[in-house]
Amino acid sequence: MPDLLLELFCEEIPARMQARAADDLRKMITDRLVAAGLVYEGAKAFATPRRLALTVHGVPAQQPDVKEERKGPKVGAPEQAIAGFLRAAGLTSIDQAKVQADKKGDFYVAITEKKGRAAIAVLAEIVPEVVRAFPWPKSMRWGSGRLTWVRPLHSIVATFGPETEEPEIVRFSVDGIDAGDETRGHRFMAPGAIKVRRFEDYVAKLHDAKVVLDPARRAEMILADAKNLAFAQGFELVEDEGLLAEVSGLVEWPVVLMGSFDASFLAIPGEVIRATIRNNQKCFVLRDPQTAKLVNKFILVANIEASDHGKAIVAGNERVIRARLSDAKFFYETDLKTRLEDRLPKFEGIVFHEKLGTQGERIARIVALTGQLAPLVGADVAKAERAAQLCKADLLTEVVGEFPEVQGLMGRYYAEAQGEDEAVAHAIEDHYRPKGPDDLVPGDPVSIAVALADKIDTLVGFWAIDEKPTGSKDPYALRRAALGVIRIVLDNALRLRLLKVRGVSADLLSFFADRLKVQLREQGARHDLVDAVFALGERSAGGTTDTNNAQDDLLMIVRRVEALGKFLETDDGKNLLAGVKRATNILRIEEKKDKREYTGAPDAELLQQAEEKALAEAIAAAKKEASAAVAKEDFAAAMSAMAKLRPKVDAFFDKVTVNADDKAVRENRLKLLSEIREATRAVADFSKIEG
Amino acid sequence: MAEANLLASDRSRRDNLDPSRSFQGLILALQQYWADWGCVILQPYDMEVGAGTFHPATTLRALGPKPWNAAYVQPSRRPKDGRYGENPNRLQHYYQFQVILKPSPPDIQELYLDSLKAIGIDSALHDIRFVEDDWESPTLGAWGLGWECWCDGMEVSQFTYFQQVAGFECAPVAGELTYGLERLAMYVQGVDRVYDLNFNGRDDDKKVTYGDVFLQAEREYSRHNFEVADTAMLFEQFKMAEAACQKYLAAGWQEKDAGKKERHLMALPAYDQCIKASHVFNLLDARGVISVTERQSYILRVRELAKACGEAWLATEGGGQ
């Protein structure tokens, strides 16, 4: 079956857009092929700075024929109805329609056969449509044309044909650009026109013309060459995935070179050197494998094999990097001249958020909250408050102004330089943590206090002004903040009643609950168990939250979920759950039937059979034992107490008829069932558990 | 003997203009290149502007259907960037070389690369790259897409396809090339400090450096921009320029039927006042007397002027009427 080769050749595409564009191209073309009845075997798309390319193989040469049946009016229907049917079906006379019969009698059916078209003709429609509708994040016009593309589009290759034959050009034209079979090689090393036939020779010819089509391949080449160059000199590459992807999108023919800078610049913090070299120059830094410290070398990736083997290129890059590092050094040294606390007054004039006041006010709130949290997490209050006071000060330094990604870290360096306590300095760096799912969670009590205060203040503030995240919109990263709180609490096994923290509302607590559910689910915990535990705090149907029973202690919630999960894996657990479910179901049905609830203690006098007496006793005992265990936070023991209910519940259902003829006895037995449900609520709401 | 002397002096004259050793030689080479291609070579606009884009030959000529190809040097003033002559590459006054080609020709990238060749940057030896850089001028109500052009990791030019100017869509689209002349010269001369640039290409006692020409000015203007510029007067000047711009715009409209704007007779003088307001705003900003919230409103006021000037220009002959 034939293959399609498509290339859209244009001026330099921003690196950050290339991967997505290749993906979009593949999806848009193949979706339309499938919609046109052309089911293909495989497709792959690629991007370089100057081209998007797509190969689709195994495309049928022809669309299948389609038979369409259209049901018409009854035989003998009014003339108007017949005429309308003919028009709609595209027939000229009713003789062309068939007559079929169903229960109601004879009616007309129009059967039209649509011949499948040649795939190449379909492609000639699809491709220009895709080019015109392409979803670039930002696109533009150029010259006198009206077409929009990410940058001016110069040529299109579109060929189609089976492996064994010379492929045909898919003939179409977009805004004056005719599809053809010619492309160009590397901008500087092979700028001439190249005639291509199909994907295999396209890739090979491009390679000869100094273009590596596959971005993954370019990235591999860069990484391998960079590591080798570093290794040869006894250094180690500081790997950087984001930079690697970006650089792979800036070159068609990667040439890796090494340069150096004056060793005196190594007095600047390594992270600042790296940020300077990475952000501004898109170069990699190297370290000494023994000391893990940066060395005065960098790796650059050029786009050409220069006639002097890169001497001029290296020299040029070295000059730019020298100038950049001079600036960075100047910034760093300037910053060191001002103490962090002396920067604070400036925050009074900087708005944090229109409705949440200035940064100065925000810092004051964080300090106050840190003061409340510090004793709860075992931190030295004075140190924690000091750290909270200084934690944002580095935002006003020159280095952080230039490189926002080193915020916190620079604060720590400057704090150390001015002789702050080590715990304070570390808290300044760590209070932003965890910044993402892979980031470390602060572990020192002072850091914990400030990190929690910073995040909780943000959440409380945005909750107060009703700027909660909705759908995919979370501009203030509130989900990340909540997840940060959760991870800090759990990783450090902290006991914290969130509702007791200043400003935390029931609504905000339910947001934490949702984040915790997501988090636990990602770790493989069953979401229904999470619900079963959370439901304990939402019990009163009237809507008022029972604050005493409210599940606002994240650590205890997780412990409960864990214990519950283990319990339900045992036979006792499974059977008890079945019993509780059975009891709940009967109750639900009968309560609905009788339009009343059966709650309250059963009357001991009305207990008749041995099994119901035994169950009532067992419930009382289990309730007591489980509550005591829960009070001691021994959830496993609470579960064992529950387990003792199981044989009594089983026996009860075995021997006792709930719907007794005696009304009073029936009511009493229903109340007993309700007690089973109540008893198990000491550990979880079993009705929320699935299975 | 006489012939040999003539040759020698001829060679040295050529050397003096070598773009890789002479700042003015670099400018002349670029002018020569773009003049050869067919650009109108203009002289700098005779007002203080922040960038070559402000020159009416770019801002206004980018609007409307008429083809337009021009190149010129534009002294550019950025009061805030002054460093009292102490920073090796920051200046409050510097030169841009500006090229505007409308409609943007299909080979505009090649033309640009050839211009680099003309000043001695060989693409077989140097790593020249087009790195994403979107351009937006809030004061001009303008935006475009393009690149920073890198040579061996150094940004040497900006390349923009204008999409909108003064709030109006550009059709056809103009391509704008802006060469940072000092940067470029520092690169080709191999100099790390702007004041060390050889200005006139001489090595003997006739050598003049960039510092000889501009260092004193940088010191004096930095003092002026940051410390002394009369803010009360500048606030007043801003208001005056704004009012004058509005007045000339109003007076320039010719109406055919009642209320229907037909043609404009004073777009250029009005636009001068917009340029004036923009520069005065930059001076006030450098003096630090405009708060963050006020800043936005000043930018909006200048943009309103620019938009009204663009509208007026489109109703002139140059604008296609």
Do A630 and A682 have their domain in common? yes
Residue A595, Ramachandran bin (φ over 0: left; ψ between -120 and 50: alpha; else beta): left
Residue A245, Ramachandran bin (φ over 0: left; ψ between -120 and 50: alpha; else beta): alpha
The number of folded domains in chain A is: 5
Do A322 and A378 have their domain in common? no
Do A153 and A10 have their domain in common? yes
- Token pair listed for A618: 């067992």
Tell me the shortest Cα–Cα distance from A250 to chain B, in angstroms.
Answer: 7
What does the DSSP 8-state code read for residue A140?
B
- Cβ pair A320:B152 closer than 8 A: yes
ipTM for this model:
0.92
Residue B129, chain A, CB below 8 Å: the answer is: yes
Establish if A342 belongs to a structural domain.
no
Residue-by-residue DSSP string for B254-274: EESSTT-EEEES-HHHHHHHH
H/E stretch holding A203: helix A199-208
Do A379 and A465 have their domain in common? yes
Segments of chain B scoring below 50 in pLDDT: 1-4, 6
Task: Determine the residue of chain B that is closest to A253 in CA distance.
Answer: B127
Establish if A247 belongs to a structural domain.
yes
Q: How many helices (H) and strands (E) are present in chain A, helices listed first?
A: 25, 18
Interface of B with A in 163-202 (CB under 8 A): 163, 171-173, 175, 187, 192
**Taking CB atoms and an 8 Å cutoff, what residues of chain A touch B152?**
312-313, 315-317, 320
Do A455 and A383 have their domain in common? yes
- CATH number of residue B250's parent domain: 1.20.58.180
Establish if A499 belongs to a structural domain.
no
Do A638 and A612 have their domain in common? yes
Interface of A with B in 326-345 (CB under 8 A): 326
Residue B126, chain A, CB below 8 Å: the answer is: yes
Establish if B319 belongs to a structural domain.
no
Establish if A545 belongs to a structural domain.
no
Do B8 and B136 have their domain in common? yes
- Cβ pair A144:B127 closer than 8 A: no
Do B152 and B243 have their domain in common? no
Distance CA A515, CA A527 (A): 12
Distance CA A313, CA A296 (A): 18
Contact B314, B320 (CB under 8 A): yes
Q: Read off the amino acid at residue A340.
A: L
Establish if A498 belongs to a structural domain.
no
- Cβ pair B153:A316 closer than 8 A: yes
Contact A206, A182 (CB under 8 A): no
H/E stretch holding B221: helix B210-223
Contact B170, B162 (CB under 8 A): yes
- Token pair listed for A94: 């009713």
Establish if B321 belongs to a structural domain.
no
Tell me the shortest Cα–Cα distance from A312 to chain B, in angstroms.
Answer: 7
Q: Which of B191, B208, B225 delimits the end of a domain?
A: B225
The shortest CB-CB distance from B124 to any of A188, A302, A319 is to A188
Do B150 and B258 have their domain in common? no
Buried-state track A303-335, b at ≥16 Cβ within 10 A, e below 16: bbebeeebebbbebbbbbbbbbbbbbbebbeeb
Q: Which of A310, A336, A362 delimits the end of a domain?
A: A336
Task: Determine the residue of chain A that is closest to B105 in CA distance.
Answer: A143
Do A185 and A55 have their domain in common? yes
With both helix axes pointing from N to C terminus, report the angle between B231-252 and B292-313 in degrees, rounded to the nearest 10: 30
Tell me the shortest Cα–Cα distance from B193 to chain A, in angstroms.
Answer: 10
Domain, as residue range, for A166: 3-62+118-208
Residue B205, chain A, CB below 8 Å: the answer is: no
Do A102 and A124 have their domain in common? no
Q: Read off the amino acid at residue A125.
A: E
Establish if A170 belongs to a structural domain.
yes
Q: Which of A478, A493, A508 delimits the end of a domain?
A: A493
Tell me the shortest Cα–Cα distance from B58 to chain A, in angstroms.
Answer: 16
Establish if B220 belongs to a structural domain.
yes
Residue A366, chain B, CB below 8 Å: the answer is: no
Task: Determine the residue of chain A that is closest to B88 in CA distance.
Answer: A323
Establish if B21 belongs to a structural domain.
yes
Do B210 and B241 have their domain in common? no
Establish if A513 belongs to a structural domain.
no
Do B189 and B256 have their domain in common? no
Q: Which of B173, B203, B225 delimits the end of a domain?
A: B225
Task: Determine the residue of chain B that is closest to A139 in CA distance.
Answer: B145
- Cβ pair B187:A316 closer than 8 A: yes
- Cβ pair B131:A303 closer than 8 A: no
Do B199 and B290 have their domain in common? no
Q: What is the pLDDT of residue A544?
A: 42
Q: Which of B225, B255, B275 delimits the end of a domain?
A: B225
- Cβ pair A316:B125 closer than 8 A: no
Do A42 and A84 have their domain in common? no
What does the DSSP 8-state code read for residue A601?
P
- Cβ pair A152:B161 closer than 8 A: yes
- CATH number of residue A122's parent domain: 3.30.70
**Taking CB atoms and an 8 Å cutoff, what residues of chain B touch A307?**
124-125
Contact B50, B78 (CB under 8 A): yes
The shortest CB-CB distance from B173 to any of A16, A139, A141 is to A141
Tell me the shortest Cα–Cα distance from B209 to chain A, in angstroms.
Answer: 20
Tell me the shortest Cα–Cα distance from B168 to chain A, in angstroms.
Answer: 14
Q: CB atoms < 10 A from the CB of A337, how many?
A: 7
Residue A176, chain B, CB below 8 Å: the answer is: no
Domain, as residue range, for B261: 230-313
Establish if B243 belongs to a structural domain.
yes
Tell me the shortest Cα–Cα distance from A252 to chain B, in angstroms.
Answer: 11
**Taking CB atoms and an 8 Å cutoff, what residues of chain B touch A321?**
153
Contact A510, A550 (CB under 8 A): no
- CATH number of residue A443's parent domain: 1.10.3210
Do A38 and A153 have their domain in common? yes
Do A196 and A321 have their domain in common? no
**Taking CB atoms and an 8 Å cutoff, what residues of chain A touch B145?**
138-140, 150-151
Please list, in sequence order, all residues whose beta carbon lies within 8 angstroms of the beta carbon of residue A601, skipping any fewer than 6 positions away: A671, A675
- Cβ pair A12:B132 closer than 8 A: yes
Task: Determine the residue of chain A that is closest to B133 in CA distance.
Answer: A14
Q: Which of A158, A185, A208 delimits the end of a domain?
A: A208
The residues with which B128 forms a beta bridge, in sequence order, are: B151
- Cβ pair A317:B192 closer than 8 A: no
Q: What is the pLDDT of residue A135?
A: 96
Establish if B213 belongs to a structural domain.
yes
Establish if A127 belongs to a structural domain.
yes
Interface of B with A in 139-158 (CB under 8 A): 144-147, 151-154
**Taking CB atoms and an 8 Å cutoff, what residues of chain A touch B123?**
188, 304
The number of folded domains in chain B is: 2
Task: Determine the residue of chain A that is closest to B114 in CA distance.
Answer: A188
- Cβ pair A320:B171 closer than 8 A: no
Residue A243, chain B, CB below 8 Å: the answer is: no
**Taking CB atoms and an 8 Å cutoff, what residues of chain B touch A326?**
88
Interface of B with A in 15-44 (CB under 8 A): none
Distances (CA, A) of A287 to A235, A242, A280, A628: 6, 18, 19, 58
Segments of chain A scoring below 50 in pLDDT: 539-547
Do B218 and B265 have their domain in common? no
Do B158 and B301 have their domain in common? no
Do B307 and B199 have their domain in common? no
Residue A305, chain B, CB below 8 Å: the answer is: no
Do B216 and B246 have their domain in common? no
- Cβ pair A317:B152 closer than 8 A: yes
Do B86 and B189 have their domain in common? yes
Do A26 and A161 have their domain in common? yes
Do B297 and B167 have their domain in common? no
- Cβ pair A140:B144 closer than 8 A: yes
**Taking CB atoms and an 8 Å cutoff, what residues of chain A touch B89?**
323
- Cβ pair A312:B125 closer than 8 A: yes
Residue B84, chain A, CB below 8 Å: the answer is: no
Residue A155, chain B, CB below 8 Å: the answer is: no
